[in-house]
Structure 1
Amino acid sequence: MTSVAQLAEKIQAGDKRAIARGLTWVEKATPEGRELVRSIFAKGGQAHVIGITGAPGVGKSTLVNALTLTLRARGHRVGILAVDPSSPFSGGAILGDRIRMQESVMDPGVFMRSLASRGHLGGLSRATFGALAVLDAAGFDKILIETVGAGQSEVEIMQLAHTTLVVLAPGLGDDIQAIKAGILEIGQIFVVNKADRDGADHTVRQLKTMLTLGSETLDWVPPIVKTVAEKSEGIGEVADAIEQHRTFLFQRGLFQDRRLVQTEHMIEQSLADEVARRLADARQRPVWRQWIEAVSHGELDASQAALAILETREEDSDGLKHLK
């Protein structure tokens, strides 16, 4: 059986089977997965993380495929994390992503993984943070994270990506949605895809107007790029804009600052996951009923019960002894 140390070594050597296995450990939240992330996290930090978000139907997956081909042509190794709202065992949109990105996935310098968000708010999967650490340690210098869509709560990508692309398309009403949802606040680059459709210029003008209102306080003025991803039109300009933003981050000393933000968010996420795990475990034990009855009878309040849950070891049969 492969040890965590052995798998970590293979991942750092770029072994695709090891990368896939490590990502499976991470997504299943196994103890081995947590140990793996701990062991490799310090080995990364060099990858340029690029978030790609936008409403359904704007062509994010097609854009990711075209952008990946362009980045590969420029000599980059590309990791792709496609976050999907469905179960990874049900196919559906994940299978669609695989088909749309087939040309990229066959490239030995590309690794793609679909992650299920399973209802997690923020547009990202709980496994995204650990998966990013795996791809980073594996030496992918460009990591694309495609989120499930753009919305009021789906702004976690800000805490993970160095550069965020907000993708829109004319005629879908998503331009108005983006403005209402505050998505304009998270984008460093705006892509108007399907720009061969009617209304593309109107969408660009609307974006320019909104961005102009806040540009006086910005050191970086987000560019707007028109693309037709299916024909690879405008993709070179998107890649150029991404590289320009990376240069901007380095010149301002902000690239490594983002690493600190990523680390903080990973700690917060790990803490939330541990609390959720302990709660799920507590519900399965007979002592759970003791806590409920104690609070119901006024013997302790809900806060005391919550602390007791956190302080009780799994093997303890009497969860109330911490309060006696």
Structure 2
Amino acid sequence: MVDVPDLVEQARQGKPRAVARLISLVEGASPQLREVMAALAPLTGGAYVVGLTGSPGVGKSTSTSALVTAYRKIGKRVGVLAVDPSSPFSGGALLGDRVRMSDHASDPGVYIRSMATRGHLGGLAWSAPQAIRVLDAAGCEVILVETVGVGQSEVEIASQADTSVVLLAPGMGDGIQAAKAGILEIGDVYVVNKADRDGADATVRELNHMLGLGEARAAGDWRPPIVKTIAARAQGVDEVVEALEKHRAWMEERGVLAERRRARAAHEVETIAVTALRERIGDLRGDRRLGALAERIARGELDPYAAADELIAGITKG
């Protein structure tokens, strides 16, 4: 058993081993997780959470590393969560991101962690918000959450972040993919990376056009900016930070930031509750009640919706 109060106190002092241990408790769904979250709750709420997503190959890790450097230059403590697909063999995260961000490994003002989704319902939604809370309590002022950028995780990041950054690159068919994935609906800031390549201006024009096809914005509504960068040379990165700070100020002024955080908390509670119910239903496999309901459905005496209602009633009472 872990001494949770001592571990939390060490994390507050910014000790990397304590932060790592707390996030491991989150990832492993430790029996002490409730105690950890209860201890962290009063210490959180100060961090600005930025989500970065985009198709593989657009330079997410390079851009994340460049943003870390930019924020460190202005004295901010930075946490990075690189949420990777789970290895089908070990269940562990693929650690390429940490290798690419090794420039910051010796900086005590930066904490970098790769996390595996481990196939949990909602993937990102299960462990990321709790890991974000750990970094927040540990004094990180900016937390960058980078997703693998495949399928649902692209859209999921919007529910975890205060501001969502969508990265694209010229010559990769990103415009078409963006329309398909629905990421035009979640981006607060768009970054066209690798802007030294042919087609960068065309990608910006296409993005502008597609954003213009979206819902009409009222006066004062946020219009997502499009920033061109060459992250490998740190070009345009300061402009991205400026866009992020403008979006944060806009949200704070209009109460949007508080509303997003409330929605994030509600989403987290829902995910925890649904996961707990799924586990309890899983425990019923082979249970007499489930078998009896299945038998009645097979005989045509009961429909599956009524059976599900009866099963849920039994679970919630028990």
- Scaled by the length of structure 2, the TM-score of the pair is 0.89
Residues 1:63 and 2:63 are matched in the alignment = yes
In 2, Cα distance between the equivalents of 1:247 and 1:54?
24
Question: Equivalent residue for 2:249?
Answer: 247
Shift of 1:280: 3.1
Unpaired segments ≥5 residues, structure 2? none
Shift of 1:171: 1.0
C-alpha spacing 1:223/1:242, structure 2 compared with 1 (3 Å): same
Residues 1:307 and 2:313 are matched in the alignment = yes
Q: Secondary structure at the match of 1:179?
A: helix
In 2, Cα distance between the equivalents of 1:260 and 1:268?
12
Q: Is the 8 A contact 1:88 1:114 kept in 2?
A: no
C-alpha spacing 1:29/1:173, structure 2 compared with 1 (3 Å): same
Question: Equivalent residue for 1:293?
Answer: 292
Question: Equivalent residue for 1:181?
Answer: 181
Q: Secondary structure at the match of 1:217?
A: coil
In 2, Cα distance between the equivalents of 1:48 and 1:113?
17
C-alpha RMSD of matched pairs (Å): 2.3
In 2, Cα distance between the equivalents of 1:247 and 1:224?
18
Q: Is the 8 A contact 1:60 1:146 kept in 2?
A: yes
Q: Is the 8 A contact 1:116 1:125 kept in 2?
A: no
C-alpha spacing 1:25/1:272, structure 2 compared with 1 (3 Å): same
- Scaled by the length of structure 1, the TM-score of the pair is 0.88
Residues 1:166 and 2:166 are matched in the alignment = yes
Question: Equivalent residue for 1:231?
Answer: 233
C-alpha spacing 1:269/1:42, structure 2 compared with 1 (3 Å): farther
Shift of 1:7: 1.7
Unpaired segments ≥5 residues, structure 1? 313-324
Moved more, 155-164 or 47-56: 155-164
Residues 1:191 and 2:191 are matched in the alignment = yes
Q: Is the 8 A contact 2:66 2:231 kept in 1?
A: yes
Moved more, 37-46 or 230-239: 37-46
In 2, Cα distance between the equivalents of 1:93 and 1:206?
34
Question: Equivalent residue for 1:117?
Answer: 117
Residue deviations 1:89-143 (CA, integer Å, cap 9, x gap): 8599732111101012321111111111234576625210110111111110100
Q: Secondary structure at the match of 1:94?
A: coil
In 2, Cα distance between the equivalents of 1:148 and 1:290?
41
Q: Secondary structure at the match of 1:221?
A: coil
In 1, Cα distance between the equivalents of 2:59 and 2:165?
13
C-alpha spacing 1:230/1:92, structure 2 compared with 1 (3 Å): farther
In 2, Cα distance between the equivalents of 1:38 and 1:93?
27
Which residue of 268, 271, 282 maps to 1:269?
Answer: 271
Q: Secondary structure at the match of 1:127?
A: helix
Q: Secondary structure at the match of 1:155?
A: helix
